[in-house]
């Protein structure tokens, strides 16, 4: 165990976060996301017993967001005509605001199928047990200053 590291971050996940370089992307996926098929070229880490907010909060304590892009945090956009509510996005905004001075301005949206295509290029995908719909979030890593 280490001091100052959130306990939810496993040694495997810490290793992956440390290996990632500037501009690499990480997907925190909800329980419905096809993590294994999207992550054929990525490292897939299973965190089925955890919600996406807990995982995001812990990661943002050690993971710098990219300052060279306008929106280093991307959400999967709700499909047109879909009536799903996304209250988890408000929680994500609070967590990002606590970690990045840009707050909600650092968060963008990507159309669902474009999100899948970008996820295929991610360095790693974390498969959580999150039950909220459209709870997938992609982070782009910045530099440690």
Residue segments in the chain with a per-residue pLDDT below the cut of 50: none
- Secondary-structure class of domain 22-140 per CATH: alpha beta
Active site residues: 22, 66, 116
Residues 6+ apart with CB under 8 A from 50: 8, 128, 129, 130
Side-chain-facing half-sphere of 42: CA atoms under 13 Å:
29
Residue 2's pLDDT is 85
Residue 145's pLDDT is 85
Residue 1's pLDDT is 76
Tens of pLDDT, residues 6-17? 999 999 999 999
Residue 126's pLDDT is 98
d(CA 27, CA 138): 4
**Can you give the pTM of this predicted structure?**
0.96
């Amino acid at each position: 165990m280490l001091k100052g590291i959130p306990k939810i971050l496993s040694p495997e996940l810490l290793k992956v976060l440390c290996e990632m370089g500037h501009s690499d992307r990480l997907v925190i996926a909800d329980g419905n996301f096809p993590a294994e098929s999207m992550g054929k070229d990525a490292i897939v880490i299973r965190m089925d017993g955890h919600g996406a907010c807990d995982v995001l909060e812990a990661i943002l304590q050690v993971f710098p967001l990219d300052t060279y892009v306008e929106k280093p945090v991307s959400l999967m956009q709700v499909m047109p005509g879909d009536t799903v509510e996304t209250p988890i996005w408000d929680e994500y905004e609070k967590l990002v605001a606590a970690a990045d001075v840009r707050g909600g301005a650092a968060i963008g949206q990507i159309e669902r199928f474009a999100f899948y295509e970008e996820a295929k290029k991610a360095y790693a995908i974390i498969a959580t047990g999150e039950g909220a719909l459209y709870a997938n979030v992609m982070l782009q890593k910045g530099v440690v200053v």
